[in-house]
Amino acid sequence: MEKDLGNYRKSYEKGVLLLIDTPENPMELFQKWFHEVDKHFPEDETNAMTLSTIGIDGYPKSRVVLLKKYTYEGFIFYTNYNSEKGKAIANNPNVCISFFWQAAERQIIIKGKVEKIAANLSDGYFESRPRGSQLGALVSNQSEVITDRNILEQKLNKLEVDFEGKEITRPNFWGGYIIKPIEIEFWQGRANRLHDRIRYVLDKEYFWVKNRLSP
């Protein structure tokens, strides 16, 4: 099987990113871009991000997860701590996340270190989830091999009966992580592949240093 994609072409012409217009803290620019994309392209899942980890087998792996909160300190998402990504993070906390907002011709690439958030914060978010999502966290031994989907459906049905009229508490194997960034790059598509790239790097004194990169 072979397909030549060399004739795929698109000219990016929707925006401009100049160094002089960028704030000193990259989280302020992240918030600005996030709000703009969320407002003007509501059909997209703005908080969908690609998380890349180094697996215990030594290979990198990327998957899409959902950003649930961001602060000046970092980016928070939730998952099963015993999942493949959870085991990878436990083995190597250095990760990369990226946002690709195709409609806005923008992408953000973030390198950072991951750590678990406080248990009470994970409890609070778990309580806010729909009941079905709470049960789903209990049903799935994430990343483990199963022989049939019916196993999941049967387990869910049993849990629905077991927890009928009862509060569902967060299992200790499920919770949140925060990614604390050390480098953030903002990419704005431009014509003729001369894209705008502004990179912020956190120095030893915990100040952000920004530069323009060649496309």
Please report the domains of the chain, with CATH numbers, ordered by start residue.
Answer: 19-128+172-213 (2.30.110.10)
Average pLDDT in the chain: 95
| Annotated catalytic residue, options 9, 63, 193, 199 | 193
Question: What's the predicted TM-score (pTM) here?
Answer: 0.93
pLDDT of amino acid 14: 92
What are the two backbone dihedrals, phi and then psi, of residue 87, each rounded to the nearest 5 degrees?
-65, -40
User: pLDDT for 19-30, tens place per residue?
Assistant: 999 999 999 999
Name the least confident of 44-53, 54-63, 152-161: 152-161
Query: 193 an active-site residue?
Result: yes
3-state secondary structure 55-113: CCCCCEEEEEEECCEECCCCEEEEEECCCHHHHHHHHCCEEEEEEEEHHHCEEEEEEEE
